[in-house]
Structure 1
Amino acid sequence: MKKFFIFALTSALALSLFGCSSEQTPTEETDSSAVKGTYSVNIGGYDWGAEVNKVTLTLDSPIGNIDKDTFVVSETKMATDFSQAPEFPIEEVTNEKTVLDAYLVDEDGNKVSEDSKYVVIELDPNPTDGSIFVFSLHTMLNAYSDVHYLDISLSETADVKVNGSDKLEAIEIETAYTSKTTDADKFELGNYVASDGIEYNYAYYVPEVESNVLVVWLHGMGEGGVEDTDPYLTSLANKVTSLISDDFQNTIGNAHVLVPQSPTYWMDNDGKQTNFEGGSIVADGTSYYTESLAELIDKYKEDNNIDKVVLTGCSNGGYMTMVLAMTYPEKYDAVVPICEAVADDTITDEQIASLVDLPMYFIYAETDPTVVPEKHEIPTIERLKEAGAKNLNVATTESVVDLSGNYKDEDGEPFEYNGHWSWIYFFNNESVENTTGLTPWNFIKENVK
């Protein structure tokens, strides 16, 4: 009898995957005496998703005497209202932003002491504000929104000077941002059509120092699809940008990074999403994308003289990591499945045996409400131990909380994320192997020497 796994994606999983990113804005009346201007934004990747972290104003007159208390900034975007089940409508919301700093710069972004037409405003990212991508509980996908803008004004205490000495009474900043940069801009974008006709968009990073190592990141459910999305979303909805950071690259000794985007979701077994029923996926341990995805990885490996390949991914991507590893164990040098969603009762003894020689590093939280460890990682890991797995590593935590000290709840305790989000510990290299204390980045380093 064929066994199936019901993959239920709870509303808790999506709590901070809401938001947007576009330029639909309201129409405003103007004050002819105000200094006018436009703004651009930079979007950073964080543990909970993507947020605007820096704004650059371009004004029509030079100003001076500014600091972090000069400006008031609010952000309007779309968000799913998780309190209104089962409709879960996507609605417009506005959040006040905390300004960390504001300073004058020249046209090239260098700080200056004299009056200038260019101003940088640094904003405080916060998990309670959520991501700027819209997560729909009906499609289970993140997408760009048609509404996203900032409102920027002077605070009541501002004492900004214009024309050298006059006090500025108001500024009028066009609501739509003129351009954006992101922390994912170091990635380049590519497209590949496999021999079976399946087409992939993907992001990739070529290290500054020549390397024969490739790390493949396989995204979760929310980052697939082909409408209102692209591989930059895939790289920002989770903090995939950490893989191109100096910290990661220096730790493992430099690596290429490949981020393929699934046309639907990795757990799709026929490419038509017929196993997605009422917010759940009925998965049987296979994927429609197995052969074509392996072909894409092989092609990148061939084109870039790659000798070592490491697979890693979370949730839906953890599922795909396991499926690829069980199908082609000889192709990969190490795997890091994170909250992986392959139900143990869909894995055969032959598949377990195929993984015995493959270095593996499992990451999960005991309180994961979406991929329940007792049905997934725990029995699979026990079977691997019994089969004599030679390089088996397991890093577990009770829950998923902020370990940076930067984000706290109302009681001053570390901010707690959904228990499914154990990928946060991977991207920050905060997972610790239960027995040896080995971190995931050092595990990768050891297996690509």
Structure 2
Amino acid sequence: MATPLSRRTLLAAGTGAAAGLSLPGVAAYADDRATKGMRFTLDAQVLDGGEQVTSVTLDAARLGPIDPASLTTGTFTVHAKATSPLPIADGDAIFSEYDLDRTVTAARLDRRGNIVLDLSHAEGQISGSTLGYIAGRGRNVMLDLTYTITQQAPFALRDHRSITIKDFVQSRRLSDPEVDAFSSHVSGSGMKYRLYSPAGAHSSGRSKRPLIVWLHGGGEGASLPDYYDNETTLRANRGALGFATPEAQRIFGGAYVLAPQSTSAWMQDGPRFAPLIREIIGDVVRGGRIDRDRIHVVGCSNGGYMSMKMTTVYPTLFAASVPICGVVGSFPPGGPPLIPDSELAQISTPSWLVTSRDDLTVDPQANTVHAHELIPGSLVTLYDHVVRNGHQFSGHWSWIYVARNDPSIDGTHVWQWMAAQRRP
């Protein structure tokens, strides 16, 4: 008969604290390693609307071969708590904090023999978000995530031993293979950036590759003296990640993808940021096998402004520019334009502008359409709404379409158009 074991629940966010339930009447796994707690990792994916924790992986392979038939959606429960990493000032608010039970939709084994608990997730569902938006600061931040795993029933090994884990220990690491594929860097001027390097890019004899520069929106900048993370640029949307997907890499023949993070918002100080971005581009070009005639700049919202600004400051640097819901007029209204008409009319970089007509954040007519009318030879795609897989997003989020290579003109999609461009 198994020795009765008492219930234990110990919690701490990302600090290696443990939580679990030991059930009386079943055999408990007694290996010394297990008494210190079974580790688990949060697995995340960046959806079109931002990153969510989509599953939890329990480090169970070391127990021995597990009988998958003994795992059900009721074997474990998962509780999630997400809180701001920063104090929230009186009168301010952070969106996407939560404290709730996550729904386990499947319990399975991965190829290593670890237990994976798939969790319910969907666009617009905040219960799995990894980011929170601080309204008063206008910034996304990485939430402190505390997950509690509780075993409700034993599972079995293939040798028929019943297993109940005493403790579960949350790993500090958040696993997201797409994000993890980007290395982290800091420029000589102190600007942080992430870089994706294509497979085989440094092999001798291989041809040089294009470079795609992704300039984030306002919510992914810094301007928080106590918060500059080099993370939200990749996790808030698929803007940079889209260009690192197998489909994009095939279209571009393997491309580097660069994502700098501003220390405030690009629109607040575009002329100062331009040379800092140029510095990073120069460092990346010197450090990799990059074709200088195939450097592209893409950006959304604040980054849409900055992608156009870069082509006014450096008219011969880029092969193509894709400004998405960018700002050229005064913002907020009443001041001078961020990019004067005279500068827009002088842009010589091939440009494809994208926006949605229902954008309530940046007036599409006064900004994207106006810029298109002035930038010589530019292309434009105007959507009515931002809808993907049946979910309607804010009209401002038209970057979702570019991240999925959706815009097309006369049968040519935006990624293929970019890949065909060369600097004169």
Aligned length: 374
- Rate the CA distance shift 1:104–1:352 in 2: closer, same or farther, 3 A: closer
- 1-structure distance, mates of 2:412, 2:13: 42
Question: 5+ unaligned residues in a row in structure 2: which ranges?
Answer: 1-11, 30-36, 202-207, 331-336
Structure 1 residue matching 2:355: 3-state secondary structure = strand
2:122 corresponds, among 114, 120, 126, to 126
Matched with 2:215 is 218
Structure 2 residue matching 1:179: 3-state secondary structure = strand
- 2-structure distance, mates of 1:420, 1:91: 19
Q: How does 1:64-79 map to 2 (within 5 A)?
A: 64=67, 65-68=70-73, 70-78=75-83
Structure 2 residue matching 1:312: 3-state secondary structure = strand
Contact 1:149 1:177 in 2 (8 A): no
Deviation at 1:154, TM superposition (A): 4.4
Contact 1:213 1:448 in 2 (8 A): no
The answer to whether 1:110 aligns with 2:112 is yes
Contact 1:38 1:178 in 2 (8 A): no
1:299 corresponds, among 283, 291, 307, to 283
Structure 2 residue matching 1:231: 3-state secondary structure = coil
Deviation at 1:74, TM superposition (A): 3.3
Contact 1:142 1:229 in 2 (8 A): no
Offset from partner CA, 1:345-369 (integer Å, 9 cap, x none): 44334312321x3211111111111
- 1-structure distance, mates of 2:99, 2:16: 13
Matched with 2:32 is none
Q: How does 1:366-405 map to 2 (within 5 A)?
A: 366-384=357-375, 389-390=376-377, 392-402=378-388, 405=389
Matched with 1:139 is 137
Structure 1 residue matching 2:286: 3-state secondary structure = helix
Matched with 2:4 is none
Deviation at 1:69, TM superposition (A): 5.3
The one-letter amino acid of 2:235's match is L
- Rate the CA distance shift 1:363–1:89 in 2: closer, same or farther, 3 A: closer
- Rate the CA distance shift 1:89–1:313 in 2: closer, same or farther, 3 A: closer
Matched with 1:192 is 187
Matched with 2:3 is none
- Rate the CA distance shift 1:67–1:27 in 2: closer, same or farther, 3 A: closer
- 1-structure distance, mates of 2:59, 2:221: 36
Deviation at 1:424, TM superposition (A): 0.7
Deviation at 1:306, TM superposition (A): 3.0
Contact 1:104 1:119 in 2 (8 A): yes
Matched with 1:46 is 47
- 1-structure distance, mates of 2:94, 2:196: 36
Matched with 1:280 is none
- 1-structure distance, mates of 2:81, 2:192: 29
Matched with 1:359 is 350
- 1-structure distance, mates of 2:173, 2:265: 30
Contact 1:23 1:177 in 2 (8 A): yes
Matched with 1:31 is 22
The one-letter amino acid of 1:184's match is V
Matched with 1:234 is 233
The answer to whether 1:339 aligns with 2:325 is yes
Contact 1:311 1:321 in 2 (8 A): yes
With normalisation by structure 1, the TM-score equals 0.74
Contact 1:314 1:339 in 2 (8 A): yes
Structure 2 residue matching 1:372: 3-state secondary structure = coil
Offset from partner CA, 1:254-313 (integer Å, 9 cap, x none): 1111111111111122xxxxxxxxxxxxxxxx4431222222223322333432210001
The one-letter amino acid of 2:311's match is A
The one-letter amino acid of 2:233's match is T
- 1-structure distance, mates of 2:63, 2:132: 36
Question: 5+ unaligned residues in a row in structure 1: which ranges?
Answer: 1-20, 112-117, 270-285, 406-413
Structure 1 residue matching 2:308: 3-state secondary structure = helix
- 2-structure distance, mates of 1:91, 1:257: 29
Contact 1:316 1:340 in 2 (8 A): yes
Contact 2:327 2:338 in 1 (8 A): no
Structure 2 residue matching 1:257: 3-state secondary structure = strand
- 2-structure distance, mates of 1:348, 1:191: 32
Deviation at 1:229, TM superposition (A): 4.2
RCO higher in structure (CA 8 A, sep ≥6): 1
Percent identity over the alignment is 25
- Rate the CA distance shift 1:177–1:57 in 2: closer, same or farther, 3 A: same
The one-letter amino acid of 2:80's match is E
- Rate the CA distance shift 1:91–1:323 in 2: closer, same or farther, 3 A: closer
Contact 1:79 1:91 in 2 (8 A): no
- 2-structure distance, mates of 1:86, 1:135: 14
Contact 2:18 2:168 in 1 (8 A): no
- 2-structure distance, mates of 1:419, 1:55: 32
Deviation at 1:429, TM superposition (A): 1.1
- Rate the CA distance shift 1:222–1:24 in 2: closer, same or farther, 3 A: farther
- Rate the CA distance shift 1:251–1:95 in 2: closer, same or farther, 3 A: farther
Matched with 1:8 is none
Contact 1:78 1:148 in 2 (8 A): yes
Structure 2 residue matching 1:180: 3-state secondary structure = strand
- 2-structure distance, mates of 1:245, 1:89: 31
Contact 1:150 1:175 in 2 (8 A): no
Q: How does 1:427-446 map to 2 (within 5 A)?
A: 427-433=403-409, 436-446=410-420
- Rate the CA distance shift 1:295–1:373 in 2: closer, same or farther, 3 A: same
Offset from partner CA, 1:34-76 (integer Å, 9 cap, x none): 5662211222222111122232212485553214554333322
- 1-structure distance, mates of 2:219, 2:275: 22
- 2-structure distance, mates of 1:229, 1:346: 25
The one-letter amino acid of 2:418's match is I
- Rate the CA distance shift 1:54–1:351 in 2: closer, same or farther, 3 A: same
Structure 1 residue matching 2:195: 3-state secondary structure = strand
Structure 1 residue matching 2:241: 3-state secondary structure = helix
Computed over aligned residues only, the root mean square deviation of the Cα atoms, in angstroms, reads: 3.0
